[in-house]
Amino acid sequence: MGGSRFQIEFRLSKDLFWSEDDFLLETNDESYDAPTVGAFSNWSLQCKLPSFLAAGDYYVLSKIDPGNLIHERIEENNYSHTTTPVVRIPEWNLNLQMTGNGSTLQDNVATRYAHQAEVNLVALQDKRTVFVGWSGDRRRFGAALVDHE
């Protein structure tokens, strides 16, 4: 039965249970030789993770022939997963410290921020001070800084 057509589906999941709610990374719809009984094969996947994924640790799940195009006695053994989470979407702390007088306003006030979250900060100077600028390690995390006059 060489050249049978079936799919391989890869998903990100916060648990080890296959669900349509998990994030679909990729579906390979290729023509593969039908696997023989007891066969072992390796497939690889390279993809860019979207910025909207929630922070956390994710397992990679894979399922061969999710549409059951290849008829077999035991369909449940087409599923595999990593044994530990292999994808981590980080969260970041934002610590504001002020030198001198004045204050800051920020939208989206939180203790931790998801990766690639945008936070707008406004420096408020009081009557006897002048805002000089921002400093810190923002370049280490690739943060953009835009000064609005």
Domain ranges of the chain: 5-89, 91-141
Which residue from 85, 82, 70 is spatially nearest to 39, judged by alpha carbons?
70
| Res 1: pLDDT | 42
For the cut 50, the answer to whether the pLDDT of residue 22 exceeds it is: yes
| Res 120: pLDDT | 79
The 10s digit of each residue's pLDDT in 47-89 is 778 778 888 899 988 887 777 777 777 777 777 888 888 888 8
Instruction: Give the C-alpha separation, 27 to 140, whole Å.
Output: 35
Q: Please, which residues have CB within 8 angstroms of residue 65's CB and are 6 or more apart in sequence?
A: 6, 7, 8, 75, 78
Percent of the chain clearing pLDDT 70 (strictly above): 72
For the cut 70, the answer to whether the pLDDT of residue 137 exceeds it is: no
Work out the average pLDDT over 98-123: 77
| Res 145: pLDDT | 54
- Share in percent of the chain as helix, strand, coil (round to 5): 5, 30, 65
Instruction: Give the mean pLDDT of the chain.
Output: 75
